[in-house]
Amino acid sequence: MQTYLTINKAAKLLHVTPLTLRNWDKNGKLRAYRHPSNNYRVYRLDQIEAFLRRLEGSRANRAVRKMDVF
């Protein structure tokens, strides 16, 4: 069974504001689903976890890159 999070709970997990999640939804970075009875945005927990793993991976890649400055 899928676990769904409200926009506020998802924002807290990602350490962003709900407005940021709305913008990401509009830009296609993170897809929101709509609750059938009230049409509120909800996010699947597995989708949030996958998004966090992608962010962690990109941060790790940036940390590996080094640049010599003279």
pLDDT in tens, 10-69: 999 999 999 999 999 999 999 999 999 999 999 999 999 999 998 888 766 665 566 666
Distance, CA of 23 to CA of 45 (rounded, Å)? 19
Query: Residue 18 is encoded by which pair of tokens?
Result: 């709900």
Query: How would CATH label the architecture of 4-63?
Result: Orthogonal Bundle (1.10)
Q: What's the predicted TM-score (pTM) here?
A: 0.74
pLDDT at 55: 83
Spatial strand order of the sheet with 33-34 comes to 4-6, 41-44, 33-34
pLDDT at 28: 93
- Domain ranges (residues) in the chain: 4-63
